Amino acid sequence: MLPFRARECVQYDPAQRQLHALDWDGANVHYDTPAELTQALDGDRLYSPLLVHAAALWFAADHGVAWHLPATAPDPLGTLASRGSTEGYSPTTLQRCLQAIDRGYDRASRLAIELLSADDHLCIIDRDGLCANVFMHVANQALASALPRISWLRSDNIPDDATVVLVHTTVNRTGAPTDPMLVSAIARAQQRTLPRYAFVPFGPHDAPNATTEDSINAVVTARGIYRSDRVARYDDDADIGPDIISLT
C-alpha cells in the first residue's frame, strides 16, 4: 500500500547520510549518493518525486552538491528551500513542511469532493501519486456509500466513460495550467467538453502558460475553489499563519 501522508513518504537519515523513499510498489528504498537518487528520479522509479526532491535538498547539501527543486514544486517546498539556504536543512524543518503539505492536500480534497455526484466517474490525472492517494482516502471517509467511481491516471489516456477530470498541476495567476507534461491530458478532456478542475492546494505560481486560460473550469485550492480568472485573488484571501491555511 502506498501511503497517503506526505510525512510517511520520505525521510533523510543525517547520521548515515542516506535518503529513504518508496518505489511505486510501496517498497522501501534508500540512496547513498545524489547521483544514485538522480538516476532513480530520471527513471521514474520513485513514488511522490516532489517529496523526494524536498528531502534531497539537504541530502545533496551534506554531499556538497547543489539541488534544485522542479518548477512544479508546491509553495511549502519552495519555502523549505529558501529556509535551508539561510538556516541550513534540518529534519525538523522537513517535517514541518511535510505536515503543511498534508494539511493543504487534505483540505483541498475535501473541497473538491463537493464538485462530484454519486454517479460521476472522476479521473484524477496525477503523475506524482500523492495527490490521488490523498483524494481517494478523503473521499472514502467523507462519501461512504455515495462514493463515485474514481480512477487515478498517470497518463493522458482518459477513459471513454469519464465525467469529471481533476488535474494535479500548477497554474499561473491567470488560471492557466503551467505543467507542460499535462498539456495533452487537459486538451483531450477539453475536446470532450468534460469538466476540468485543477488541483492546486497552495495557489498559483508566477509562471508562463503551458495551456490557454480557458482550458480549466475552476482551480481547487486549500483556501477555496476559484474561477480561473479569479485565482489571482488567492494571495489576498485570508491566511492565519504560514502553516495553517484558512478556508474563509
Secondary structure of 81-109 in HEC code, one letter for each residue: HHHHHHHCCCHHHHHHHHHHHHHHHHHHH
Please, which residues have CB within 8 angstroms of residue 44's CB and are 6 or more apart in sequence?
none
Return the exposure string of 35-70: e unless at least 16 CB atoms fall within 10 Å of the residue's CB, then b. eebeebbeeeebbbbbbbbbbbbbbbbeeeeebebe
pLDDT at residue 88 tops 70: no
Decide: residue 114, CB within 10 A, 0-12 exposed, 13-18 middle, 19+ buried: exposed
Q: Give percent helix, percent strand, percent coil of the chain, each to the nearest 5.
A: 40, 20, 40
Higher-pLDDT residue of 157, 79? 157
Q: Tens digit of pLDDT for each residue in 3-48?
A: 999 999 999 898 999 999 999 999 999 999 999 999 999 999 999 9
Percentage of residues of the chain with pLDDT beyond 90: 54
Orientation angle between helical segments 91-113 and 130-143, nearest 10 degrees: 50
pLDDT at residue 235 tops 60: yes
pLDDT at residue 247 tops 60: no
Q: What is the mean pLDDT of the chain?
A: 87
**pLDDT band at 71; cut points 50, 70, 90:** confident
User: What mean pLDDT comes out for the span 115-122?
Assistant: 92
pLDDT at residue 229 tops 60: yes
Please, which residues have CB within 8 angstroms of residue 131's CB and are 6 or more apart in sequence?
105, 124, 168, 199
Whole-angstrom distance between the N-terminal and C-terminal Cα of the chain?
Answer: 34
Q: Confirm if 165 and 123 have CB atoms less than 8 A apart.
A: yes
Strand partners, 124: 152, 166
CA distance 56 to 18: 10
| Other Cβ atoms closer than 10 A to 212 | 15
In this prediction, residue 92 carries a pLDDT of 78
CA distance 25 to 27: 6
In this prediction, residue 242 carries a pLDDT of 39
In this prediction, residue 72 carries a pLDDT of 74
pLDDT at residue 117 tops 70: yes
Q: Confirm if 41 and 35 have CB atoms less than 8 A apart.
A: no
User: What mean pLDDT comes out for the span 167-180?
Assistant: 90
Higher-pLDDT residue of 193, 73? 193
User: What mean pLDDT comes out for the span 92-116?
Assistant: 90
Lowest model confidence (mean pLDDT) among 20-24, 132-136, 165-169, 229-233: 229-233
Q: Name the grid cell of 212.
A: 490557454
Higher-pLDDT residue of 8, 144? 8
In this prediction, residue 239 carries a pLDDT of 53
Q: Confirm if 188 and 199 have CB atoms less than 8 A apart.
A: no
Domains of the chain and CATH, by start: 6-103 (no CATH), 105-236 (3.40.50.10470)
